[in-house]
Structure formats: structure tokens, C-alpha cells
Amino acid sequence: MNQIFKIIVLLISATFSTFSIAKDTTPVSQSVPTDVNDQITDSVTQFMRIDTKKDGNISLVEARAAGINEATFRKMDANSDNIIDQKEYQVAILIGK
């Protein structure tokens, strides 16, 4: 599971990358299908709404206040550090945790 998570995080990171690959000058974010871009945009908006402390992480308290139960929180917290960062949240949204 950790390998899959790492791969997905790398893919999401590449989406936001400003670097071009080889001689292709098309930014990576422009080559991602619109529905995926929409999901990423929506997940960022949702994350910012849930992160009421505005510290860049979602705590269990913030998650519960947003209607996320503890079991779902634990699934989304891929590295088990008791917080969900933005990448973990986006991965969970994209893969449907």
C-alpha cells in the first residue's frame, strides 16, 4: 500500500510541477484530463474548508467537525502521523478512500 501511495503522490506532485519533460514544452498540468483537474481543484477547496486552524493539516478534531469519521481519517492518514496533509487528502479523494 505504501508503494501505491508513493506512486500516487508522485503523480499528483507531477501534476503541479512547473517543469517540462524532455523537449515537450506543454506543462504537465495542461496534459491532465479536465475531470482530474476539477477533482484536484475541488479537493484543494475542500481541504482549505476543513483545515479550520489553517495550519496546512487536518487533525482528527477538524475531520470529525467536517463529518469525517475516525476510520476514514485513519485510512486517509497514509503515513500514520495523526494528521492529514494536503497530498494525503488529494490522494484519498482521487482514489476514493
Work out whether strand 57-58 and strand 84-85 pair parallel, antiparallel, or are unpaired: antiparallel
Q: Percentage of residues in the chain with pLDDT exceeding 70?
A: 63
Decide if 63 contacts 73 (C-beta within 8 A): yes
Whether the predicted model's global pTM rises above the 0.85 cut = no
Q: What is the pLDDT of residues 62-78, one digit of tens each?
A: 999 999 999 999 999 99
Residue 1: its pLDDT value, please?
A: 55
Q: pLDDT category, 34, cuts 50, 70, 90?
A: low
Residue 6: its pLDDT value, please?
A: 59
Structure-model confidence comparison of residues 13 and 77, the more confident one: 77
pLDDT at 8 over 50: yes
3 state SS for the chain: CHHHHHHHHHHHHHHCCCCCCCCCCCCHHHHCCHHHHHHHHHHHHHHHHHCCCCCCEECHHHHHHCCCCHHHHHHHCCCCCCCEEHHHHHHHHHHCC
